A and B are shown apart, each in its own frame.
Chain A
């Protein structure tokens, strides 16, 4: 069974950074890319970027360049997203999702990041 297990919800101070994890199981981690998606409260979905773990290649939405950094650890089948210089605009739920030929076929449960002093 394919599963993407994300880390827990985060409460962080403005200006700080946070690193979210997404541990994959039930498939060969390096055979698929991973999407990261933002969902702001009551809002729609935004694609942040994609990482291809096999070759450590990333693609970013221009809007999130400098804000998000995607990495992957092949030894632990885990993808990571670090968000830096957090502001209230970054408060949202963040999802990882497995990419399979233009579709996100499995999603993590989401991590709620709350930026507050």
Chain B
């Protein structure tokens, strides 16, 4: 199985700050990577797919980058509504696997 190592596990940021979350795959996943946001008590919501494509309706302060085994999610200008858990997920090979998540809080 492809292991997705996500870091950091938790993060606190001030409003307006830029934050980054990383995922490292145990093997190359050819940009088959998505990022999800999950607010407390809610379902995950798709933010980014194919490593860098912004899902319709997602604010442009969210961006994704990376290649090979290393991928990152950036939030340019933290907003109150961005406080949530974030997960990466690879779809390159079955079984699909997720990162362990990053809890993002407002400082």
Contact = CB atoms under 8 A, between A and B. Distances in A.
A39 B46 CA distance: 16
Nearest to A103: B49
Contacts, number: 51
A104 B96 CA distance: 11
A89 interface: no
Given A102-B91, A109-B43, A110-B43, A44 B100 contact: yes
Contact of B95 (A61, A103, A107, A108): A61
A interface majority secondary structure? strand
State which size class the interface on A falls in.
Answer: 20 to 34
A63 B99 CA distance: 17
Interface of A: 35, 44-47, 59, 61-63, 95, 97, 101-105, 107-110
* Interchain residue pairs A-B with the least CB separation, the first 8: A102-B91, A103-B49, A47-B96, A107-B43, A45-B98, A61-B95, A103-B34, A44-B100
